[in-house]
Structure 1
Amino acid sequence: MVRAAKDSAGQPLRVGVIGAGIMGANHARVFAGLPDVQLAGVADPNPQQRDLVNRVLGCPAFEDYDALLDLKPDAVTIAAPTHLHHEIALKCIARGIHVLVEKPIAS
């Protein structure tokens, strides 16, 4: 059973995905199908990957993950290449955005 996910104000959780490759696209698909979760968008520098997720899920797509972070999502999944995990996670944490980091956490 999937529970509805809402923030403390009863609003849907707004979640973004950074990295729209195989794992990131899968995370985006799962988030888009969860009750009370809004897929705020995906970010990936590869236009084919981000545009595919945009077309399939109808969510905003960004070349630069800072543009996604500017939307102030409640949380993000970091599914970018491993060597970028640390930098991206620190930026998210500094903005007060919760993170789920795909393994490995960092290199």
Structure 2
Amino acid sequence: MGFEGATGKFGAKRALRVGVVGAGVMGTNHARVLAGLPDTTLIGIVDPLPEHRARATELAGCRAFATLDELLAEGVDAVTIAAPTHLHHEVALACIARGIHILV
């Protein structure tokens, strides 16, 4: 059974808009996989370190953001959190507060 996609204002199917938080090895891999999924649009990846953002852009072919707020401002339906473990709680709560689905 596959994902049926998000629905727009009038019930029309549209791609799920996803983002990745954390552009280390695991986050970059998540971004690469998400970018290749059908009915999914990878909006981008967020990481405070410029070198991580550059690597993620190169390997996953996506936009990169320095802050979570920048990514969320682009409009995502869901994010996968691959930031360091001690940040999971803070990032998850920020997304939940905005009605964004999370995978931690």
Alignment of 1:44-55 (within 5 A): 44-55=47-58
Please, what TM-score do these two structures have when normalized by structure 2? 0.89
Q: Is the 8 A contact 2:43 2:76 kept in 1?
A: yes
Q: Identity rate of aligned residues, in percent?
A: 58
Pair 1:70-2:65 in alignment = no
Which of 43, 46, 67 is the equivalent residue of 2:46?
A: 43
- The amino acid of 1:22's aligned partner reads V
- The amino acid of 1:99's aligned partner reads I
Structure 2 gap segments, 5+ residues each? none
1:54-100 deviations in Å (ceiling 9; x for gaps): 12332110111110011120000011111111011000000010000
Identify if the C-alpha distance between structure 1 residues 28 and 5 changes in structure 2 by more than 3 Å, giving closer, same or farther: farther
Give the secondary-structure state (helix, strand or coil) at the position aligned to 2:7: coil
**Which residue is equivalent to 1:94?**
97
Structure 1 gap segments, 5+ residues each? 102-107
Please, what TM-score do these two structures have when normalized by structure 1? 0.87
Pair 1:16-2:19 in alignment = yes
Distance 1:42 1:32 in 2: 11
